[in-house]
Structure 1
Amino acid sequence: MIVERAYAHAAQGELGEGAGWPWSVPCVRQLVDDGLRFTAPVTFLVGENGSGKSTLVEALAEGFGLDSWGGSAGYKYASAREPSELGERMRFEATAAGRRMLRGPRTRRRGFFLRAETALDALGREQRTGRLSGAVDEMSHGEGFLMAFRERFEEPGLYVMDEPEAALSFASCLQLVGLLHQLGRSGAQIVCATHSPVLTALPGAEIIEVGDHGMRPADWRDLELVDHWRRYLNDPWAYLRHIVEAC
């Protein structure tokens, strides 16, 4: 593993009544108050849209020195945007391997940030600089994702992902589960925000549920997303009748 705990600092005035974004987001407030501890090589953050899980993973990537636009560690940033308020205040309690990366120049850091919204641009940049073997613009979105996972997710480092399942079929998600398992066993660390019951079923992975409550550990079988998918696949009409009949 690379990081054992992440936390952030905020001024008292930023956390008071009427606090603005991102300090008003429950999971961010908990990050400031208690930090986020990692207990396994692979950690999944799950929660509804707007819960703050993407805000968390982006800040983790920025704090580690990964480009918020996406791509490999240790290279010139593609994005001209300044780090987010949360990202620039992110701090880590790291393992020995993590401390060696964090204390040295940015070129010493290893890892990758993949976010669904900017993935094609980031992967195209990886291709143009010779870090991918194939042409991203000549393959499907999902094939490009899998190529990046196989060729850029190889060595110990911090790998941060925001909804990687967006471009993947069921079979491709299963391939990603296998790759994440191998990567975690190699000494790397993965933090992934996801809505996928397939990915979160990875044995030995830590699951953090994000929501109005903040952050809390969860078991796969108890996840709301797993319960909804199970019930929907068992009886789609139980859900769809409320939508179709209302139109």
Structure 2
Amino acid sequence: MSILKRNQYLRSIELKREEIEDFSKYPFFLPAIINLKNLEFHPKVTFIVGENGSGKSTILEAIAVNYGFNPEGGTKNFNFSSRDTHSDLGHYIKLVKGLRKPKDGFFFRAESFYNFATNVEDLEKEDPGLLQSYGGRSLHGQSHGESFFSVFMNRFLGNGLYILDEPEAALSPSRQMSMISRIHELVEKDSQFIIATHSPIIMAYPDAIIYEIKDDIRQVQYQETENYIITKSFLNKTNAMIEVLIDQNMK
């Protein structure tokens, strides 16, 4: 095993299949999980991609919860909960960690970001100065995209494990490109990312592996992903694609 592999913060996960009583129950029947044994992570960036409902966010949530992060996002110090909806998958995976522990960490969830931002403001009232860690401005006082990027730019410090669930949700294409630069800056500061995304821009980051979920979960090349293929086809043949989509809707 290489030194780089041993030193990464999270090397892999293993599904404790022998402890699962019924694979017909949620979330164990999901394509990403039903045939899963183990999943190895890249020392720098790992992408998990797939259609809505395929299970990529469920896997990320399980990793984050098992690692000690709040299910709705934030650092390990956050413990707010607006609604207990996370799955039981975290109880059935084993994390295989490297020799080093991260000095920083964050679980970013686009779907619960509003609740996270509210909790930051509540904590600021109890502990004035906390907001400086997020750029010094209220996250609710910015546009959705600006507040996302403010967290990425100000709260992510390096030497960290960052688990991101659909970080592109509020970002423009240009901001998504800026996100690639920010990921690289943090990778150069000994950070590791595990990212679930639909964005063919963000997943273009080169020093990474991509797992795509269809009937199962498997490693693919960037140009093989459905996100890349569909986006490229649409941009290259926009008028023809629009006509097909409109014609289908008229039938």
Residues 47-126 of structure 1: pairs in structure 2 closer than 5 A: 47-79=50-82, 81=84, 84-98=87-101, 110-126=104-120
Task: Give structure 1 stretches of 5+ with no counterpart.
Answer: 102-108
2:47–2:195 contact (8 Å) kept in structure 1: yes
Conserved in 2, the CA contact under 8 Å of 1:67 and 1:79? no
| Contact 2:107 2:164 survives alignment (8 Å) | yes
Deviation per residue, 1:61-89 (Å, 9 max, x gap): 11111111111123334456375210123
User: Is the aligned partner of 1:228 residue 2:230?
Assistant: yes
Write the mapping of 1:176-187 to structure 2, written as runs, cut at 5 A. Answer: 176-187=179-190
Contact 2:49 2:198 (C-alpha < 8 Å) held by counterparts: yes
Q: Which residue of 1 is the match for residue 200 of structure 2?
A: 197
Residue by residue over 1:200-222, the C-alpha shift from the partner in whole angstroms, topping out at 9 and shown as x without a partner, is: 1112111111121x211111122
1:236–1:12 CA distance, 2 compared to 1 (3 A): same
Matched, 1:13 2:24: no
Instruction: Pick one of 239, 242, 248 that aligns with 1:240.
Output: 242
| TM-score, structure 1 as length reference | 0.86
Deviations 1:118-176 (A, max 9, x none): 11221332344313221112211000011000112113232111111110011111111
Say which SS state the counterpart of residue 150 (structure 2) adopts.
helix
For these two proteins, the number of residue pairs brought into alignment is: 232
Paired with 1:92 and 1:187, the residues of 2 have a C-alpha distance of 20
Partner residue in 1 for 2:218: 216
Matched-pair contact (CA < 8 Å) for 1:155–1:188: yes
Q: 1:46: Cα distance to partner?
A: 0.9
Match for residue 27 of structure 2 among 22, 30, 46: 22
Q: CA RMSD of the aligned region, Å?
A: 1.9
TM-score by length of 2: 0.85
| Contact residue 123 and residue 148 of structure 1 kept, 8 A | no
C-alpha distance in 2, partners of 1:211/1:73?
Answer: 32
Please state how far the C-alpha of 1:12 moved relative to its aligned partner. Answer: 5.3
SS at match of 1:190: strand
1:154 counterpart letter in structure 2: L
CA contact (8 A) 2:13 2:40 kept: yes
* 5+ residue gaps, structure 2: 1-7, 124-129
**Aligned position for 1:105:** none
Are the equivalent residues in 1 in contact too, given 2:82–2:115 (CA < 8 A)? Answer: no
Classify the secondary structure of the residue corresponding to 1:159: strand
Residue type of the alignment partner of 1:40: P
Whether contact under 8 Å (1:207, 1:218) holds in the other structure is: yes
Match of 2:165 in 1: 162
Alpha-carbon distance between aligned partners in 1 of 2:85 and 2:115, rounded to the nearest angstrom:
19
Contact 1:68 1:79 in 2 (8 A): no
Identity between Structure 1 and Structure 2 (%) = 31
Alpha-carbon distance between aligned partners in 2 of 1:169 and 1:58, rounded to the nearest angstrom: 25
Quote how far apart the aligned CAs of 1:191 are.
Answer: 0.7
Distance 1:83 1:228 in 2: 31
Q: In the alignment, residue 115 of structure 1 is paired with which amino acid? A: R
